[in-house]
Amino acid sequence: MVIDADALNIISRDKKNLNLIPKRSIITPHPKEFERLFGTTENSFERVELAKKKAREIEILIVLKDHHTQVITPEGNVFYNITGNSGLAKGGSGDILTGIFTSFLAQHYTEEEAAILGVWFHGKAAEFASEKYSKESMLPTDVIHEFGNVFEELNRRAEIEL
């Protein structure tokens, strides 16, 4: 299961709701949603430590959406994403990310693979979109239109390694 946006806000109304999240689910909070779910932290380092603790306790994956989005696994692993740009800080970008995750899960990627690859894929598509339209003016639909280019790049990289 992938849980985002208003679903996270509903869950945050009562901490007991956290126990209703199915194991190995992916949640995708931005910093304020994370705070509502798990409490305040002083800085991003404390937030990652709290995320590791909560991911382990609840047995979920937490995708901390931020400047450098992090994927935290129930095993305590943290993966930092290096793709993307500020053009993703727009309404609708999180919906695209959720769609990417669910698409990869439907294709039988593991939850961890879907989260890590999904965050990278989303960011790479945003990089391509910003080259065409600029970070300031790109739209979420521009990101979606770059998916084909991201797949082409992945295929090129795969051919090089063969």
* Tens of each residue's pLDDT in the chain, 162 residues: 999 999 999 999 999 999 999 999 999 999 999 999 999 999 999 999 999 999 999 999 999 999 899 999 999 999 999 999 999 999 999 999 999 999 999 999 999 999 999 999 999 999 999 999 999 999 999 999 999 999 999 999 999 877
Residues 128 and 151 in one domain: yes
SS (H, E, C) the chain: CEECHHHHHHHHCCHHHHHHCCCCCEECCCHHHHHHHHCCCCCHHHHHHHHHHHHHHHCCEEEECCCCCEEECCCCCEEECCCCCHHHCCCCHHHHHHHHHHHHHHCCCCHHHHHHHHHHHHHHHHHHHHHHHCCCCCCHHHHHCCHHHHHHHHHHHHHHHC
Q: Which residues pair with 80 in a beta bridge?
A: 70
pTM score: 0.95
Residues in CB range of 102: below 8 A, 6 or more apart: 2
**For the CA atoms of 129, 133, 134, 135, what is the dihedral angle to 10 degrees?**
-50
* Boundary (domain end) residue, out of 62, 80, 98: 80
Residues 131 and 70 in one domain: no
Residues 153 and 130 in one domain: yes
- Amino acid symbol at 119: V
Residues 108 and 156 in one domain: yes
Residues 28 and 95 in one domain: no
User: What tokens appear for 78 in the block?
Assistant: 């943290």
Residues 4 and 56 in one domain: yes
**Which CA distances in Å does 92 have to 50, 69, 89, 118, 141?**
27, 16, 9, 16, 9
Name the pairing type of β-strands 61-64 and 26-27: parallel
Domain total of the chain = 2
Domain that holds residue 121: 83-162
Residues 36 and 68 in one domain: yes
Task: Write out pLDDT tens, residues 28-63.
Answer: 999 999 999 999 999 999 999 999 999 999 999 999
Residues 48 and 62 in one domain: yes
* Boundary (domain end) residue, out of 31, 52, 80: 80
Residues 76 and 1 in one domain: yes
* Boundary (domain end) residue, out of 47, 64, 80: 80
Residues 75 and 2 in one domain: yes
Residues 128 and 92 in one domain: yes
Residues 52 and 88 in one domain: no
